[in-house]
Structure 1
Amino acid sequence: MKYINKYDVNISKIGLGTGRFGTRIDEEKSFEMLDLFIAGGGNLLDTARNYYEWVENGRGVSEKTIGKWIASRKIRNKVYISTKGGVRNQGKNFIINLEKSNLVDEFKESQDALMSKTIDFYLLHRDEPQRPVGEIMETLQIICEQGNVRGLGVCNWSPERIVSANLYANKHGYRPLTLIQTWWSIAAYTETMWNDSTTTHMDKDTYDYILKNNLVCMAYTSQAKGFFQKAIAEGLENLDNFLKHRIATEVNVRRLNYIKEYCEENSLSPTAVVNGYITSNEIDGIALVSCSSINQLNDILENCDSDIDSEFINYIDRIN
């Protein structure tokens, strides 16, 4: 396992996405996957207050499952928890509310569900562009006082809003945003991939800002829904229609062909290359992975140490 040394701790460069834990993945299997992840050297668990809120009694269940697992294993000091707030769901429609009382209440709910005063990394899940960044940053300072927060961040914020928020924080002596969570993978992004206008993806402005300011990027959907692994293993023509429609663009097919050649020449698995694109990157990248099976998680853990050279990463980025 590779690690980032930030916040006076070593954080695994593979973070386990736990959105389905306790709902689509039952508690027993969730515990088994969490045990395996820790045994494999991982220590970062990523969740959110609203994950699977669109299923019956789903709100907060992922956090509760993590909290129960940590309590049963008595290893709170060996894991780092990242959770997110500020969003509610009606079906799969997002209702964003970054008002102070709402965020403070949600943060307390997360603490209770996780059974931990400490929330290592707290992020806002979406932006509310009409709300002034000053008001939002002031609320985040209150949250830091309410819990032991190592790092503050945002998910799905534009680079312009991130810059404005940190300028305000620096001016007023507040804790800045140091974690950025966005869609980032070895795949070239297309608008149809997520089909959600409230999400963001890695772009040049965001990348340059993260690099210049030595921030950490948590890459969600870091494996591009398994597109490259499945296409290499099963053949592009055998992929399901979801992957074909959303990811099998001309650009990504060209990237696929180059990835396949690189894997063969360097005796690497596609998983090692896909995740290594994030974990070997010039910026401090954490690949957030969500797995539906033990086999998938084993594949990731068995291939998480490979160093992918910068020449390959730069070449992939130029395939457009």
Structure 2
Amino acid sequence: MKYIEKYGMKLSKIGLGTGRFGTRIEEEISFEMLDRFVENGGNVIDTARNYYEWVENGRGISEKTIGKWMAKRCRRSDVYISTKGGVRNENINFFVNLSYNNLLDEIEQSREALQTDNIDIYLLHRDEQERHVEEIVENLQKIQEKIKAKAIGVCNWKAERVMKANKYAKLHGLIPIQIIQTWWSIAAYTPDMWNDPTTTYMDQNMYEYLKKHNMLGMAYTSQAKGFFQKAISEGVDNLDPFLKKRIATPENLERLERIREYSNKNGISPTAVVNGYITDNEVDGIALVSCSKLEQLYDILENCDVIINEDWLKEMAVEK
């Protein structure tokens, strides 16, 4: 397992995404995934208050599943918990409320579900662009102090808003936004991947800002839904039609051949290449992985230590 030291934490560069834990993935399998992840050196567990909220009794179940696992296995001190708040949703409709009172209510619910007083990493899950960024920064400070978070950040924020927030924080001696979570993978992004205007991706502005300020990027959908691995093992024509529609663009098909060539030449798994695009990037990154099957997690963990050539990674840099 590769690690990075940031904000007083030694973080695994593979993080476990847990959005379906307790809903689409039953508790027993969720526990086994968490067990295997930690046994193999992983220590970053990513969740959110509103994951699978559209499922009956789904709100908070991911957090609750993690909390039960930590309590049962006595693992709280072995992991860093990252959770997100400020959002309610109904299917693809998101309702953002970054007022202090709402964030406070949600964080109390998160702490109860996770069975812990301290949240290591706290992120705002969406931006509320109608609310002044200065107020949001102040609210985030209060939450950070209350939960003694080691790092604070945002998810699905555009670079311009992050810059404005951090300018205000610097002027007033406050903690800046330290971590950005966004869509980031070796696949070239297209709007069809999400069909959701409230999500963001690693564009050139954000990439350069993180690099300049030595900030941490947390990459969700870092595996591009397994597109490259599945395409190499099964063939593009045999892929799920929805996956093909989302990702099989001419540029990504070209990237597929580059990944296949690099993997064959170096005798490594395509999974190692997909992981390494984030974990060996010149921007400090954590690849968040979400698996529906244990076999997928095993594949990722078995191939997370390979070092990918720096020059090749630069050649593969997505036009952002």
* TM-score of the aligned structures, taking structure 2 as reference length: 0.98
The 5-angstrom pairing of residues 216-295 of structure 1 reads 216-295=216-295
What CA distance in whole angstroms lies between the structure 1 residues aligned with 2:7 and 2:288?
A: 19
CA contact (8 A) 2:92 2:196 kept: no
Q: Distance in 1 between matches of 2:212 and 2:304?
A: 26
8 Å contact 2:8–2:150 — kept in the other structure?
Answer: no
- Tell me which residue corresponds to 1:302: 302
Secondary structure at the counterpart of residue 306 of structure 1: coil
Structure 1 residues without counterparts, runs of 5 or longer: none
Q: Give distance in 2, aligned partners of 1:62 and 1:139.
A: 25
The residue type paired with residue 309 of structure 2 is D
CA deviation map 1:191-245 (0-9, x unaligned): 1011100000001100000000010000000000000000000011111111111
* Residue 25, structure 1, aligned to residue 25, structure 2: yes
| Cα RMSD for the two superposed structures | 1.0
Relative distance call for 1:110 and 1:318 in structure 2 (3 A) is closer
User: Which residue of the partner structure matches residue 58 of structure 2?
Assistant: 58
- Decide whether the 8 Å contact of 1:254 with 1:319 is kept in 2: no
- Amino acid paired to 1:82: S
The separation in 2 between residues aligned to 1:208 and 1:316, in whole angstroms, is 16
Aligned to 1:114: 114
Q: Which residue is 1:43 aligned to?
A: 43
Once residues 31 and 243 of structure 2 are traced to their aligned partners in structure 1, the CA distance between those partners, rounded to angstroms, is 29
Deviations 1:18-50 (A, max 9, x none): 011111111111101100000010000000000
Provide the residue aligned with 1:104 in structure 2: 104
- State the identity %: 63
Cα distance in structure 2, aligned partners of 1:244 and 1:291: 19
In the other structure, the counterpart of 1:5 is 5
Q: Secondary structure at the match of 1:177?
A: coil
| SS state at 2:178 partner | strand
Q: How many positions carry a matched residue from both structures?
A: 320
Amino acid at match of 2:256: L
**Unaligned ranges ≥5, structure 2:** none
Structure 1 CA distance for aligned equivalents of residues 144 and 186 of structure 2: 34
SS at match of 2:316: helix
1:319 Cα deviation after fit: 7.4
2:286 maps to amino acid: I
CA distance in 2, matches of 1:261, 1:45: 32
Counterpart for residue 75 of structure 1: 75
- TM (norm. structure 1) is 0.98
Contact 2:188 2:318 in 1 (8 A): no
Q: How big is each residue's C-alpha offset from its partner over 1:30-71, in whole Å with a ceiling of 9 and x where there is no partner?
A: 101100000010000000000000000000000000001001
Deviation at 1:305, TM superposition (A): 0.3
